[in-house]
Structure 1
Amino acid sequence: METLHHDIKALIIDVLNLEDITPEDIDTQAPLFGDGLGLDSIDALELGLAIKNQYGIVLSSESEETKNAFYSVATLADLISSQQ
């Protein structure tokens, strides 16, 4: 799971062009939006598309499970591993 966490962090940095951040700077348990990493709704769309393409999983913007999965790197990893 550590590898998946690192891969998700690297994907976030790459997709959102966060040049001054390394994967080690992102707390696995910290919120991705708001007070945590500070991502916004546009970032969520871009990240969702990248995750869908990278891991071949189904994401629904209306699904409560998907909304909850975007809370942190750890919750995204749980969603990805549950669908693979």
Structure 2
Amino acid sequence: MQATLEQEIKELVISSLALEDVQPDDIDPVAPLFVEGLGLDSIDALELGLALQKRYGVHMSADAEETRRHFASVRALAAFVAAQRTL
């Protein structure tokens, strides 16, 4: 289940941010999404947050530190989405 969700989130990252030269298999699920790793920025975070809300109905906290932890990697996002689904 977690691996499937990670795959979905990788595809969502690529489609919502129009990463044309990136394939889902290119994204390491534990690599950072920001700065190193994919090198995303704050605008990308907003776009991705909106895409996650639309697709999974999750709500991001206004707490920047907590949100930063969720956006640390694809695996962290998958864990967050999975936890939100059980609420």
Q: TM-score, normalised by structure 2?
A: 0.92
Identity across aligned pairs (percent)?
54
Equivalent in the alignment of 1:81 = 82
Equivalent in the alignment of 2:31 = 30
- Over aligned residue pairs, what C-alpha RMSD do you find? 1.0
**Structure 2 residue matching 1:83: 3-state secondary structure:** helix
**Structure 2 residue matching 1:64: 3-state secondary structure:** helix
Distance in 1, matches of 2:82 and 2:60, equals 13
Decide which moves more: 53-62 or 17-26: 53-62
Equivalent in the alignment of 1:4 = 5
Q: Point out where structure 1 has 5 or more consecutive residues left out of the alignment.
A: none
Q: Point out where structure 2 has 5 or more consecutive residues left out of the alignment.
A: none
Instruction: Please list the CA deviations of residues 30-62 of structure 1 after superposition, one character each: whole Å capped at 9, or x if unmatched.
Output: 000001110000000000000011000111242
| Aligned-partner residue type, residue 82 of structure 1 | A
Distance in 2, matches of 1:13 and 1:63, equals 23
| Aligned-partner residue type, residue 19 of structure 1 | E
Q: TM-score, normalised by structure 1?
A: 0.95
Equivalent in the alignment of 1:66 = 67
